[in-house]
Amino acid sequence: RLIDTVIDEAIARCFSSYTENRLHELGQLQSQLKLTNQELTRLVRASKENLSHLAHELKTPLTSIIGYTDLFLRQNRQNSDPEDSSPNLEHIERVLRGGRQLLHLINDALELSRYDAGQMPLQLATIAVQPLVNSIVEMVEPLARVKDLKLETDYTHAPEHVQVDPLRLQQIVTNLLSNAVRYTEAGVVRIECTIQSEQQWAIVISDSGIGIEPDAQAHIFDPYFRAPLPEQAPPIDGTGLGLAIVDRLVKLMQGEIQLVSQPGTGSTFTVILPLKVEYPTQQAQAVSDI
């Protein structure tokens, strides 16, 4: 028994010593991980700030280039012989298109960085749903007319009024509706507004376009991701940021976005929002203090 007791005590001391050493090592590792995490957070923040600053710096000269290029084109179309200047004007038009696309990319990148930095406050207002959506449909209609697409709206079960950020809602619907038109070569693009429950309503945008492959659907809201096009589909310009911005704006207004798509058949995006969006906690406090 004495021997057993001595052995048990020795084992206990060894185990205690081993445990203390491991706990000490874990404590050191935790401290190192904390410092590493802080450094990574600082680097990511600095990187985002640098990107935002760079985008702002690029916008000013780019806006000037676009403005003067557009002015040059207008003047030459009015004053020049079309046969002599058409090749040169074509080159200038390419510069203008490229400049506008780059400016669009910069604006989207800035929008994304503002959201990620928590610098996108809501400006809530009670609005009538149908007039706002109709104004967006009218804006997108010329794009649909060029492709001989039918634009349908359905307000049968729509709420009359909702509390949202009108500008952000307009961005969401414009982006989804214009995407539906761009990725549809024939058929119908449809937008429906409907009450989902006592607390929620939905905007459903569906098309008869090329659809999205299942593998791509998992990444469709990732920044800069663009779903591959079918071989027979015409090339489509884009930044790969539109749906990422839509996803973040929907979340900002306490909603969710759902996608159902079948390649070759079409896609349906459903945005579900509260009938009455509330200010986030921090902003609500700031608003109440005013």
127-168 confidence digits (pLDDT tens): 999 999 999 999 999 889 989 999 999 999 999 999 999 999
What is the per-residue pLDDT for 230? 76
What is the per-residue pLDDT for 287? 44
The pTM score is 0.69
What is the per-residue pLDDT for 51? 62
What is the per-residue pLDDT for 158? 96
Q: Taking 80 as the threshold, does the pLDDT of residue 268 lie above it? A: yes
Average pLDDT, the chain: 81
Give the containing element (helix H, strand E) for 271.
Answer: strand 266-274
What is the per-residue pLDDT for 289? 47
191-231 confidence digits (pLDDT tens): 999 999 999 999 999 999 999 999 999 999 998 888 888 77
At residue 286 the predicted structure's pLDDT band, cuts being 50, 70 and 90, is very low
Domains of the chain plus CATH, in order, are: 1-119 (1.10.287), 125-274 (3.30.565.10)
